[in-house]
Amino acid sequence: MPLLAIESTCDETAAAVISRGREVLGSVVATQEALHARWRGVVPELAARAHVERILPVIDEAVARAGIGRHDLEAVAVAVRPGLVGSLLVGLAAAKGIALGLGLPLVGYDHLAAHLYACRLAHGARVRYPALGLVVSGGHTGFYRVDTPTRLERLGGTIDDAVGEAFDKAAALLGLGYPGGPWIERSAVDGDPRRHRLPRPLAADRERLDVSFSGLKTALRVLVRPPGSPPDLPPPTGQARADLAASFEQAAVDSIVAKVSLAMERTGLRLLLVGGGVAANSRLRAALVDCGDRHGAEVLVPPPALCTDNAAMGAIAWEHLDRGEAAGALLDVVPGTDRTARARGAV
């Protein structure tokens, strides 16, 4: 019998029904993009309230799409870390209610490990362990040694903004929409990535497996709004904007690829699993495959719909269930960012 996975870590309300064979029987993602577009970033309180409104209809829809009833479920799984605390709590409350009401085991899973598990859904047995993991999303940018689907050791990552956050801020500077990644990607298609030489902080530093994006963001701001420009200066348009978008995108991609290359050299691992919303980016996907070719490594990236937040990747909960790892009614959330997780020594 299948499990129900619930995902509400940030601004997507998602549910999926997945068989023990990791077949996704029904998957629904209700995006909150329109809600947050006005602020060009996720407003946590609004996100939590929207989850409350949407979570039960989204769950019902996922179960209906699977062609089953709630009583056909075998377990309930929920992403409990990391994420926005208010958002996580809505998913957890729904999962606990359904699990208790139906007398089903409850499993909490890690959202970042789930992003990488999307590779398993897309590429099946080509995923082997240990592997190198790269999570690039709106809230996280990290390099991992992945020993098992559920055991990740953080090797490094961003020391400031997440790469997706940088895409979102760059898009705002260029007068593009939210979330910024897809907008930058579309605009960059017609641009010259060599038009502006934007910084790749830490890229040449072979001591650290870390990346930084705040300087890139500032450099773009200085190009778009040079010091002394009037406050009502309109954002660039046309070719100028396309060149800025392409140059930004290239710099962000180069920063990541430089450290993926270093991680492959350091660890000797020859399989890279990639996950997170920014992994939907074509320039990044192509550059990672090139990097893999240079190192004789295989690079696995899920299709775009499995890169951005979704609950199908909650299939990872079967890995816990197969080992008899169900949580009790005291299951709690672990909010936080890359930085707090690092401080705690957790993933």
In the complex, least distance from residue 88 CB atom to Zn ion, rounded to whole angstroms: 12
Q: Could you say which of 82, 149, 181, 302 contacts ligand KG4 (CB under 6 A)?
A: 181
Q: Which is nearer to Zn ion, 140 or 283 (CB)?
A: 140
Cβ atoms 331, 81 nearer than 8 A: no
CA distance 263 to 64: 43
Binding of ligand KG4 at residue 7 (CB under 6 A)? no
Does residue number 310 form part of the binding site for Zn ion (CB under 5 A)? no
- By the rule CB under 5 A, 309 interacts with Zn ion: yes
Interface residue with ligand KG4 among 8, 32, 137, 187 (CB under 6 A) is: 137
Candidates 137, 187, 247, 310: give the one binding Zn ion (CB under 5 A): 137
Q: Is the Cβ–Cβ distance between 190 and 237 less than 8 Å?
A: no
Distance CA 100, CA 94 (A): 10
Grouping H, G, I as helix, E, B as strand and the rest as coil, residue 272 is strand
Q: What are the C-alpha distances in Å from 280 to residues 128, 231, 302?
A: 22, 34, 8
With respect to ligand KG4, which residue has the nearer C-beta, 243 or 295? 243
Q: Which stretch binds ligand KG4 (CB under 6 A): 18-26, 173-181, 208-216, 231-239?
A: 173-181
Q: Is residue 179 part of the contact set for ligand KG4 (CB under 6 A)?
A: yes
Q: Which residues of 86-117 are buried (b: 16+ CB within 10 A; e: fewer)?
A: bbbbbbbbbbbebbeeeebbbbbbbbbbbbbb
282-295 vs 238-267: helix crossing angle, rounded to 10: 30
Near Zn ion in 261-290, by CB under 5 A: none
Q: Using the rule CB under 6 A, which residue among 82, 156, 180, 201 binds ligand KG4?
A: 180
Q: With respect to ligand KG4, which residue has the nearer C-beta, 2 or 255?
A: 255
Closest CB 137 distance from ligand KG4, rounded Å: 3
Q: How far is the CB of 105 from ligand KG4 (least distance, A)?
A: 26
Cis before 226? omega within 30? no
> Which of Zn ion, ligand KG4, none does 193 bind, CB closer than 5 to 8 A by kind?
none
Buried b (16+ CB within 10 A) or exposed e, 161-188: bbbbbbbbbbbbbbebebbbbbbbbebb
Q: Which stretch binds ligand KG4 (CB under 6 A): 28-36, 47-55, 120-128, 176-184?
A: 176-184
CB atoms near residue 17 (< 10 Å): 28
Output the smallest distance, CB 138 to ligand KG4, in A. 3
Across the chain, the runs of DSSP E, i.e. the strands, are 3-7, 12-18, 24-31, 75-81, 106-110, 131-136, 141-148, 151-157, 271-275, 298-300
Query: Residue 243: which of Zn ion, ligand KG4, none does it interact with, CB under 5 to 8 A by kind?
Result: none
Which 277-316 residues touch ligand KG4, going by CB under 6 A? 277-278, 280-281, 308-309
Q: Which residues sit at the interface with Zn ion, rule CB under 5 A?
A: 137, 309
Q: Which residues sit at the interface with ligand KG4, rule CB under 6 A?
A: 10, 137-139, 164-165, 167-168, 179-182, 185, 276-278, 280-281, 308-309
